[in-house]
A = this chain, B = another copy of it.
Amino acid sequence: MATEKKPYVIGLDLGGTNSVFGIVDAEGNVVATTSVKTRGHGPVEQYVKDCVEALQSTIAEVGGIEQIQGMGIGAPNGNYYTNCIEYAPNLPWDQENIPLGKLFSEALGLPVAMTNDANAAAIGEMTYGAARGMKNFIMITLGTGVGSGIVCDGKMVYGSDGLAGELGHVRVEPHKGRECGCGRTGCLETYCSATGVARTAREIIETSDTPTILRDIPIDQIESKDVSIAASKGDEVAKSIMDFTGRLLGRACADFACFNSPEAFIFFGGLTKAGDLIMDPIKKGYEENILKCYAGKAQMLISQLDDAKAAVLGASALGWEA
Contact = CB atoms under 8 A, between A and B. Distances in A.
Interface string A163-188: 11111011111100000001110000
A259 B164 CA distance: 6
Contacts of A160: 135-136, 260-263, 297-298
A31 interface: no
Contacts of A251: 171, 174
A194 to B, nearest CB: 20
A1 interface: no
Contact of A291 (B87, B169, B258): B169
Q: How many copies of the shown chain assemble into the complex?
A: 2
Contacts of A289: 171, 184
Interface string A250-280: 0100111011111100000000000000000
Nearest to A185: B289
A62 interface: no
Contact of A152 (B135, B152, B170, B173): B152
Interface of A: 86-87, 135-136, 150, 152-153, 155, 157-167, 169-174, 182-184, 251, 254-256, 258-263, 289, 291-294, 297-298
26 contacts: A87-B293, A135-B160, A136-B159, A150-B259, A152-B164, A153-B157, A157-B259, A159-B260, A159-B261, A160-B260, A160-B262, A160-B263, A161-B294, A161-B297, A163-B261, A164-B259, A165-B259, A165-B260, A166-B258, A167-B259, A169-B258, A171-B255, A173-B174, A174-B174, A184-B291, A256-B259
Given A87-B293, A157-B259, A160-B263, 20 more contacts: A152-B155, A152-B157, A152-B159, A153-B157, A153-B158, A158-B261, A159-B261, A160-B261, A162-B261, A163-B293, A164-B260, A165-B260, A165-B261, A166-B291, A167-B259, A171-B254, A174-B251, A182-B291, A184-B291, A259-B260
